Amino acid sequence: MKSSEQWFQSLLSSAGVAINGPQPYDIHINNPAMFDLVRRQGTLGLGDAYIHGWWDCPSLDKLFRRLLSADLARHAGIFFPQLYGTLKAHLTNLQTATRAFEVGRRHYDLDDDLFQAMLGPTMAYSCSYRGSGATTLNDAQLAKYDLVCRKLHLVPDSTLLEIGCGWGGFARYAAEHYNVRVIGLTISQHQATFARTYCAGLPVEILLQDYRSFSTPVDAIASIGMFEHVGPKNYAAYFDTARRCLRPDGLFLLHCIGNLSSTLCTDPWINTHIFPNGKIPSMRQIATAIEGRFLLEDLHNFGPDYDFTLMSWWKNFHDYLRTSGPAEKIDSNFQRMWQYYLLTCAAAFRARSLQLWQIVLSPNGIPGGYHPVR
């Protein structure tokens, strides 16, 4: 039987990665205990070992692009954390109305200064759009905001519901540039407080409220980067809510990360450290949930733009650490965790393991057909 080190080295070699090699994507071992940890816990152990400083890599994004492209997760087999997560998701609704607020407390309620530094002036915590030719993060995020508004055919004085409004960036843009009234829902107290100030003086109402309890009729709905927190057991309730609130001639835009396969739970490391109770949907899961509720008008995939977005966030985060000196608020473990999160996610989009979908839906179909906007 192979030792844990031999097993791990064999996996890496199939992706062209070496241990203590000269390439920027090679892994450098600081503590051999990481081999047993990874063999026991898979991706959870690999990420935790990195947080502990048991291994390093000059370029995490290049490393994981190789690992994901080689589909190493499938070759490595099933580990207990993954099996436990799948069983738990099968038996339990991990995203009930009560549990929905957990990700707000544990992730979105982190220091506002961190998110402001990382996200930039738009405060957009979702994939930017470079299809307009944008070359900077700020311009690409503004282009995404405008793309959503144009896809929704927004007209002045109409009412727009944003399910998952974040820090209010899109609500502010839509109110300022398209003269609409916006109702934003969030499950984060920090986001609600920030967004109310950020949108002050505009026809924007921010509610600390779960989507399931909303019932006001609206002319249009946007949900940007929130559906990943809904969970398969709640997809029907989510789309039922949207259908109940959306007027018959309205449009609903869903902007979400997409998985290539239909699973019940997310990666154990991401679930443990970054987005508790999250779940990235597959196209089949979305299609099943909208059947009988909405007509699909348009599907747009610009997943590669998320690589650019995440690498831009990483640069901003790195600059924040280097210039602001926030060591009192952000310890070394958090820095390594956040680096691992941003760079491995960038690699997933670069390897095309994850997608970014914008889906336009209508209750009854647009007369004469919907004309796609790009």
Please count the helices (runs of H) and the strands (runs of E) in the chain: 16, 9
Q: Could you confirm whether 345 is annotated as catalytic? A: yes
- For residue 257, count CB atoms less than 10 angstroms from its CB and return exposed for 0-12, middle for 13-18, buried for 19 or more: buried
- Burial profile 180-191: b = 16 or more Cβ within 10 angstroms, e = fewer: bbbbbbbbbebb
User: Using only C-alpha atoms, what is the Rg of the chain?
Assistant: 21
Residues 289 and 354 sit within 8 Å (Cβ to Cβ): no
Which helix (H) or strand (E) covers residue 55, if one does? strand 55-56
CB-side neighbour CA atoms (13 Å) of 34: 22
Spot the catalytic one: 165, 245, 265, 345.
345
Residues 272 and 50 sit within 8 Å (Cβ to Cβ): no
Question: How does DSSP assign 97-165, residue by residue?
Answer: TTGGGHHIIIIITS-HHHHHHHH-TT---S----TT---SHHHHHHHHHHHHHHHTT--TT-EEEEES-
Q: What are the structure tokens assigned to 261, written together?
A: 């396969």
Name the residues annotated as catalytic. Answer: 345
